Amino acid sequence: MEVIFGVSGLRGVVGEGLTPELICNYVSAFAKEIPPGKVVIGNDSRISSEMVKNAVISSLEALGFDVIDIGIAPTPTVQFITKSKNASGGISITASHNPEKWNGLKFIEGNGIFFNEKKVMSIKANLAEKNFKFQTYDKLGKLTIDQDAKDTHANTVLKKIDLSCIEKRNLTVAVDACNAAGSEFIPAFIEKLGFNIIKYNCNFNDTFPRNPEPLKENLTLFSDFIKENGCIDIGFALDGDADRVAILDEHGNYIGEENTLVLATRFFLENMAPLNKTVVTNLSTTRALDDIASYFGGKVLRSKVGEINVVEEMIRVNASIGGEGNGGVILPMIQYARDSLSAISLILLGLSKSGLPLSSIVSEIPKYYMVKDKISISRDDFEENIDKVKVFFSGYPYTNIDGLKFELEDSWIHIRPSNTEPVVRIIAESKSPIKAKRLVDETKTLMKSS
C-alpha cells in the first residue's frame, strides 16, 4: 500500500508502506527545507508511534539537528511550542483521524504553521534527489525532553481567553479522547478553566476504542454514556491528535463537527467583540457559518480544503477567527493552527455566559442538512468525468480552486480529491435533507460513469 503525502502531511499503514527507511527519507527531505537548529517533535499514542518517533529522532540527529521531544501531545501543542521555542521546524507524529494501523508525519515551519503546497513540492523534489547530508560522529544533534510544553500552551490560552471575568456555572464536561493525544492534557485543561470533568476513553496506554474520527457513527457509546450519566452539560470528542473537536449536548445528541466552528465563531464574535469580524473557512463548511457571521456583522471568506490553505487566507485578510467544518477552530490570538484548546475555551465561555443549556443554543443555529460521501476513483478518472458534472450543473456559478463547488439557490455541492485518502469526496448541503442526498447520489453516478 502506498503512502499519502500532501498538505496534510505524510500518512501510511505501518508495515504496508510506512517503514523506517521511508520515514528517514521524508524527514531528511523536510530537513533540507528548514534552517539548521532545533526541531520540536511530539506524538499521539498509537502503538507504532514509539517506532516512528525513534526513526524521526535518529534521522534528525544524523542530520545535525537538535531535537526537543514534548512526548504525547496534541498536534497544535507541537505547533505552539515550535514557534515559542524559536525552533527551525517541528514534526507531529500522527495519522490524525485515520485508524490505528496508520501513522504519519505533519511537517511544521518555524513559525508554527504547516508546510504549504510549495513546500510540499520541494520535499517531493528532495526525495527524488536524495542528496542528504548526514553528519560525522562529532556533529550529531542532541535530544532533550520538554516536560513543560503542554503547560506552556495551556497557560497561554488561559491568559488570552479569560474566563475569570464571568461567574462560573457549575458545568460538568465530558471528554472522549479516544485514548489518544488529548487523553490527559484536555481534561486537565478543562479543570484549569474551572469546570467539572468526566473522562471517557482517556487512557493513552490503551488502544483506540473507536475509529478516531469524531463522527456521529463513531460516538454512539459516548452519546449513550452522556444520556445515562444525567448530569453532563456538554461532551467533547477528539480525534487522534486532538486538533479537531466534535460536540454532544446535555442529552447526548451529536451536535457535530460542522457546528464546532459555528458555535465557536458565534461565542467569539458575541463575547470578545473583535474589530475585524472576517471569518475564513474552507469550501466544504456549512452555510450556517455565513448566517451566524452575518448576524454579528461579520463576513465569511473561503479557501481550499486543508488547514494550511485556511491559515494562509486568514493571514492574507487578517481574519480574527477561522477553521474548518471538521471540528477545527483557528484563533490567531493564540496561534495559526486548528487548536482544540481554543475551540473548547470559546465554547465553554459562551455556554457558561449564556445561562442556557447547550441544546437551546444549538436550536438557534440555522438548520441545514449536509451529506458527505466518497468514492474510490483515481485522480485521472476524476479529471475525466468532471466535465459531465459541469454539464449537469450548467447555469450555476462554481469555483474550481479545489475540485469543483457549485452554488445552488438553497444548497451547494463540492466534489474534490481527498488530501488524506485515495478517494474523491462529495459533499452537499441543503435546507432539505432529501435534496442534499439527491445531489450527492446524482453526482456519484456521474463520477462513476465511464
pLDDT tens digits, one per residue of 94-119:
999 999 999 999 999 999 999 999 99
Which of 322, 344, 366 is the last residue in one of the domains?
Answer: 366
Global confidence as pTM: 0.93
Decide if 28 is catalytic.
Answer: no
Closest CA to 294 of 366, 372, 344: 366
Could you write out the DSSP letters of every residue in 303-324?
A: E-SSHHHHHHHHHHHT-SEEEE
Same domain, 314 and 385: no
Q: What is the CATH number of the domain that holds 277?
A: 3.40.120.10
pLDDT band at 449 (very low <50, low <70, confident <90, very high): low
pLDDT tens digits, one per residue of 277-315:
999 999 999 999 999 999 999 999 999 998 999 999 999
Q: Does 35 have pLDDT greater than 90?
A: yes
Question: Distance (Å, rounded) from C-alpha 401 to C-alpha 411?
Answer: 19
pLDDT of residue 437: 97
Question: What's the chain's average pLDDT?
Answer: 94
Same domain, 319 and 416: no
Residues 6+ apart with CB under 8 A from 217: none
Q: What is the CATH number of the domain that holds 437?
A: 3.30.310.50
pLDDT band at 167 (very low <50, low <70, confident <90, very high): low
Closest CA to 13 of 22, 3, 5, 28: 3
Domain boundaries, position 51: 4-147
Gyration radius (Cα) of the chain, Å: 21
pLDDT of residue 166: 62
Same domain, 208 and 308: yes
Which of 366, 387, 407 is the last residue in one of the domains?
Answer: 366
Please tell me the total count of domains within the chain. 3
Select which of 28, 59, 96, 223 is catalytic.
Answer: 96
pLDDT of residue 1: 63
Same domain, 197 and 95: no
pLDDT of residue 256: 80
Same domain, 292 and 208: yes
Same domain, 373 and 358: no
Same domain, 327 and 396: no
